[in-house]
Chain A
Amino acid sequence: MKHLLFLSLFIFIGTVGFSQKAQKFKTVIIQTSAECGDCKARLEEKLNYTSGIKFAELNLESKKLTVKFGTSKITKTEIKLIINEIGYDADDQKAKKEAIEKLPLCCQPGGMKQ
C-alpha cells in the first residue's frame, strides 16, 4: 500500500508538469539578428524565464524565433522589445545600441562573417 502511494505520488507530480490552466495561447515567429549558438542560449534563457512565455525556441539556420505565449500576460510587441534589449533585432524593430555593445564580438551583427 505504501509503495502504491509512492507510485501514485510520482505519477501525480509527473502529470502536474504537463497540465495547463485554461488560457489563450498564441504562437508567433519573429525574425531575429542572432548569430551563433551563444546568441541562441542567451535569447532562449531570457525569454523562457519571462512570465507569460510558454516557450521560446530559436532556429539558428533561419534565425527565426518561435515563441508561444499567453495573450493575457504579454504581447508580441513586448516580446520584441525584450529581444531588442538583449541586443538583437526583432522583425523591423532594431536592437538597442548599448545592448549590442555589451554582446561578445561573435554575437554582434555580422560577427560570424568578418
Chain B
Amino acid sequence: MKQLILSVLLSFGFYSSFNAQIKGLVQGADSISKKPIYGAKVKLLHAKTGIITSEEGTFELVLPKLLPDTLVISAFGYYPDTIILDKKDRFVSLNVTLYSEKLLDEVVISFKRNSHGISKMKTLHVEELTSAELRKAACCNLSESFETNASVDVNLTDAVSGAKKIQMMGLDGVYTQIQLENIPYLRGLESSFGLQSISGTWIESIQITKGTGNVVNGYESMAGLVNLELKKPKEMERFYLNVYQSAFGRSELNLNAGYKLNEKWSTGWLAHASTVYGNIDHNSDGFRDLPMGDNIAFMNRWDFDGKNKEIQFGFNAYQDRKVGGQTGFYRGKQSIVNPTANYGVLLNSRHIDVFAKTGFFGKKPMRSLGILYNLKYQTMDGQFGIRMFDGTEKRGYINAIYDDIIGTSDHKIKIGGSLVALAITQQADSLVQNRTEIVPGVFVEYTFTGSRFTGVFGARYDYHNLYGSQFSPRIHTKYSASEFTDIRFTIGKGWRVPNYIIDNISLLANSKQWIAPTETKPEISWNAGTSIVHEFKFGGQKASISIDYYHTRFRNQLVVDRDESVNAIVFSNLENGSYSNSFQTELSLSPFKNFDVRLAYKFLDVKAEYGGEIRQQVMIPRNRGFMNMAYKTRNKRWEFDLTCSIFGASRLPIQTNSTDTTLILFNTKGQVYPMVNGQITYVYKKWNFYLGGENLSNFKQQNPIIDAQNPFSSTFDATNSWGPIMGINVYAGLRFAILQPKKK
C-alpha cells in the first residue's frame, strides 16, 4: 500500500544553502478535500535524519552527501509514501499527497511507469516518449523514433533522396523547434535532413510539446517543440552495443559507453555508423527506392557535479553521404562529357558541434543561474540531376537563465537573455540567399503554482539586426478539474526567418523553375490550443483519454505555391492567409494485464492560398487513424508491438498530363493507405534480440516518380511522394547492455 500518487513539481530552481537542501509540502487527501498535514514524519532512510512538517505542511531537510536515499513520508491515519531522491532532485521541490486510510482501495492508484504518456504535472501539454517506447521500433535514428506516436507525422520529402521530415499540426517540420537538451538544434541547414544525424540509441527520452514552448528556449517554436534528452554519462550503460540489419541492405552499428571517473566527474561516449549498400529498385522505375550511402556520428560528453555548481560540456561530429537516383549512378562515376547519362542524387552533409552548460546554485533556496553555450559549423552540398546546391552555416548561441522565487515556491520567476550569431549561405541553381544574423534577446517567465491552477506567463523580446524587433508573449495554463482530469490552455506567438532554399531543397527533384520571393520576411504565427486529459479505470487497469485542438494562424508565411504554374514553383510572402486547425483524440487502455492499446484519430485542416484559391496544403492528409498494441509476457521475456496507421488521401499539386501533346491541367489526389509496423523483442538478461517488419501490408505508391523514363525532361517530377515507396521491409538486430554498477 505504499504506492501512492506523488506529485513532484519540477522547478528549475537549484535548491541549496551551504548544504544541498530539499523542500516540500505534504498534503492529506480524503474523499472530500485536500489539506496540509501538520506533524507528518519526513525521514531519510540511509542518512537516518528526519523532520516533522510545520503547521502549513511544509518541510525542509538537509540532503546527505550520499545519494540516492529514500525519503519516507508518513502521518497517522494516512497511507505512507516513499520517494527515491538522487542528486538531480536538488532541482525539485516536492509536493506530496498522502491518502487517508479511510479511502476505499480503488481510489489509491498503484503506480506504474508508462513508457508513453502525457505528464500530469506539467503545465504545458507535454507528451513524453521514454527509451522503453523507443525500443518498440527499430528507431535507428530520430526520424523513426516517432513511429509509435500519433502527434508527430514523419513523411518522405521526395521519391529520390530518402529524406524524412517531421510535421506537427500538419505544418512543416521547420515550424517545430527541435532542441537537444534545451539547445536549439536541427535548424537552418539541418532542418531538411538533420533527423538522421541523431541515432536512436543515443536518446534517453523525447518530450513533445504541442503549441508554442517556453519563452526560455527561444522564439522559433511555432507549431510545437520537440526536446531530446540524450543518455547522461552518470546513468547511461557502462557499455552498450546495438547491431541492426535490414533486408533492404541497411546495416547499423551503435556503441555507447559511460564512465564515472569519481564522485564528481563522469564521461559518456556515443558512436554510430551505418551504411546502405543495397541497390534496390523494386518498382522497376529505374530509380533506387532508397538511396545508398554511409553515415557516421560521434559524441563525447563530460559532466561535473560539484557542491554548488554543475558543468557539462562536449562535442559531436557527423557526416552523411547519400547516393540516390537511377540505379546506374554512383558517386564519382558520373560522366563529365555526358552529365545526363544517369540521373543522380547526391547529398552530403556534415557538422561539428561544441556545447557547454554551467549551473550555479545560489546560497538562498531556489536560486540559480544556468548558462548554455553552443557553437556549430555545418555544410551541405549535393545535386538533384543537373541541379546543384550547397550551403554553409556557422552559428554561435548563448542563453543565460536566472531562476528565483518570489516569497514562496508558489511564485517562480525566470529572467534571462540570449544571443544568436549566425552566418548562413545557400545556393541552388542560380539562386543565392546569404545572410548574417545577430539576434540579442531578453525574456521573463513567471510561474504561479496553486493547488488546482497553474499558470506560466512568459514574454520575450528579440532584436534582429535585419528584421527589427519582435515581441513574443506566451501563456500556458493548467486547471485540475478533479484528481483525474486536467484542462490545459495555451496561446503564444512564434517566429522565424525562413531559408527558402534549404527548407525546400527536395523540390529540386523536378525540372520546375523556382521563382524566388521578392524579399525575405520573417514568418510570424500565433498558436492557441486547448486540451483535456482524463484518467480513469478500465477493467481494474489505468486508462486515459485525451482530446486536443490547436489553431495556428500565420501573420506572415513564406508560402510554397505549387499550383500557380505547372512549370514553376513560386515562393511568396502571404499575409494573414494561412492557417492550420488540428484536432486529435487519443484513448489508451490496458484490456488485460501487460497488454496496452492506444487508439488515436487526428484531423488536420491546413489551408492557404494556392493558385489563387484557398486550398488544403499539398501532401497533408486530412484524416489519420492510429493504433498501437503492445504486449509483454508475464515473465517479461517477450515483447510484441504492432502499430497500424491509416492515412487519408492527400491533395497533390496541379499536374499536366505528360502523355498528351496538348496541355491538360488536372488536380489529383493520393490514395488512402495503411502503414503497419510490427516488432518482436526477446529479452535475455543483458541481451535483447529483435525482429521487426515495416509496411507489412505492403502498400506502395504507384509511380512515385512522374515520367521516370525521361529524368531530364520538363515533365519529370519526383516531388509528389505521398505514400511509401518501399514494400515490406524486414529487419533484425540485437542490443547488449552492461549497466553502471549500482551503489549499495
Given contacts A3-B698, A48-B636, contact A10 B730 (CB under 8 A): yes
In the complex, what residues of A have CB within 8 A of residue B678's CB?
Answer: 10, 14
Whether A17 and B640, one on each chain, are in contact in the complex, defined by CB atoms closer than 8 angstroms, is yes
Which residue of A17, A36, A61, A105 contacts B1 across the interface (Cβ within 8 Å)? A61
Please determine whether A60 and B693 come into contact, CB atoms closer than 8 angstroms: no
- Is there contact, CB below 8 Å, between B635 and A106? no
CB-CB contacts of B678-696 with A at 8 A, as 1s and 0s? 1010101100000101001
The one of A48, A57, A68 that contacts B637, using a Cβ cutoff of 8 Å: A48
Q: Are A112 and B72 in contact (CB under 8 A)?
A: yes
B residues 618-641 touching A (CB-CB < 8 Å): 633-638, 640
Complex contact A10–B691 (CB within 8 A): yes
Query: In B593-639, which residues have CB < 8 Å from any A CB?
Result: 633-638
Assess whether A7 is in contact with B680, with CB atoms less than 8 Å apart. no
> B431 within 8 Å of A by Cβ?
no
Contact B3 A7 (CB under 8 A): no
- Size class of A's contact patch? 20 to 34
Chain B proximity mask over A32-56: 1 for CB below 8 Å, otherwise 0? 0000100000001000110001111
B87 at the A/B interface (Cβ < 8 Å)? no
Write the nearest CB–CB distance from B398 to chain A, whole angstroms: 41
Please determine whether B728 and A6 come into contact, CB atoms closer than 8 angstroms: yes
A17 touching B680, Cβ below 8 Å: yes
CB closest chain-B residue, reference A53: B635
Specify which of B45, B682, B685 lies most central, judged by the most chain A CB atoms within 10 Å of its CB.
B45
Best-buried of A54, A56, A68, A104 by chain B (most CB within 10 Å): A104
Q: Is the CB of A112 within 8 A of B46?
A: no
**CB neighbors of B among A77-114 (8 A):** 104-106, 111-114
* A residues in contact with B80, CB < 8 Å: 112-113
Q: Is A13 an interface residue (CB 8 A)?
A: yes
- B691, A13: Cβ atoms under 8 Å? yes
Task: Give the shortest distance, in Å, between A17 (CB) and chain B (any CB).
Answer: 5
* B250 CB, nearest partner CB in chain A, Å: 15
**Within 8 Å of chain B (Cβ to Cβ): is A9?**
yes
Cα distance A69–B678 when bound, in Å? 30
Q: Binary interface profile of A, 1-13, with partner B (CB < 8 Å = 1, else 0)?
A: 0010011011001
Docked pose: A54 CA to B682 CA in angstroms: 15
B744: Cβ under 8 A from any A Cβ? yes
Taking CB atoms, residues of chain A closer than 8 Å to B72 are: 112-114
**Assembled-state Cα–Cα distance A105/B684 (Å):** 28
The verdict on A55 contacting B693 (CB below 8 Å), with A14-B640, A14-B680 known, is: no
Q: In the complex the two chains form, what is the Cα distance from A3 to B728 in whole Å?
A: 6
How many of chain B's residues touch chain A, expressed as a range? Answer: 20 to 34
Contact B634 A57 (CB under 8 A): yes
B367 at the interface (CB under 8 A from A): no
By secondary structure, the A interface counts as mixed
A3 touches B82 (CB 8 A): no
Contact with A along B660-678 (1 / 0, CB 8 A): 0000000000000000001
B452 on interface, CB distance cutoff 8 Å: no
Q: Is B120 interfacial (CB-CB < 8 Å)?
A: no
Distance in angstroms from B76 CB to nearest chain A CB is 14
Residues of A within 8 A of B680 (CB): 13-14, 17
Q: Of A10, A13, A60, A105, which one neighbours B45 at CB under 8 angstroms?
A: A105
Q: Which residues of A contact B633 (CB under 8 A)?
A: 17, 55
B247 within 8 A of A: yes
In the complex the two chains form, is B693's CB within 8 Å of A6's CB?
yes
Residue from A3, A13, A106 within 8 A of B70 (CB atoms): A106
Give the chain B neighbours of A55 by CB distance below 8 A. Answer: 633-636
Do B2 and A114 touch (CB < 8 A)? no
Q: Given A49-B685, A61-B110, do A9 and B730 touch, yes or no (CB 8 Å)?
A: yes
Q: Which residues of A contact B696 (CB under 8 A)?
A: 7, 10
Instruction: Mark out the residues of chain B between 50 and 99 whose CB falls within 8 Å of any chain A CB in the assembled complex.
Output: 70, 72, 80, 82
CB distance from B381 to the nearest CB of A (A): 37
Asked whether A60 lies within 8 Å of B2 as measured between CB atoms, the reply is: yes
Rounded to whole Å, the gap between the CB of B555 and the closest CB of chain A is 49
Instruction: Say yes or no for B727: interface residue by CB 8 A criterion.
Output: yes
A114 near B636: Cβ-Cβ < 8 Å: no
Closest residue to B684 on the A side, CB-wise? Answer: A49
Distance in angstroms between the alpha carbons of A67 and B633 in the assembled complex: 13
**Bound CA–CA A111/B45 (angstroms):** 8
- Looking across the interface, which residue of chain B has its beta carbon closest to that of A35? B2
Complex Cα–Cα for A54 and B623 (A): 43
Closest chain A residue, CB of each to CB of B743: A104
Which residues of B have CB within 8 Å of A68? 634
Q: Do A48 and B635 have beta carbons less than 8 Å apart? A: yes
Q: Is the C-beta of B562 less than 8 angstroms from some C-beta in chain A? A: no
The docked-state distance in angstroms from the alpha carbon of A48 to that of B730 is 29
Given A14-B680, A61-B3, A114-B48, 4 other A-B contacts at CB below 8 A?
Answer: A10-B696, A17-B633, A60-B110, A113-B72
Please report A residues at the B interface, Cβ cutoff 8 Å.
3, 6-7, 9-10, 13-14, 17, 36, 44, 48-49, 53-57, 60-61, 68, 104-106, 111-114
Offer 26 A-B interface pairs, CB within 8 angstroms, sorted by A.
A3-B698, A3-B728, A6-B247, A7-B696, A7-B698, A7-B728, A10-B696, A13-B691, A14-B680, A17-B633, A36-B70, A36-B82, A53-B635, A54-B634, A54-B635, A55-B634, A55-B635, A60-B2, A60-B110, A61-B3, A105-B46, A106-B82, A111-B45, A112-B82, A114-B48, A114-B72
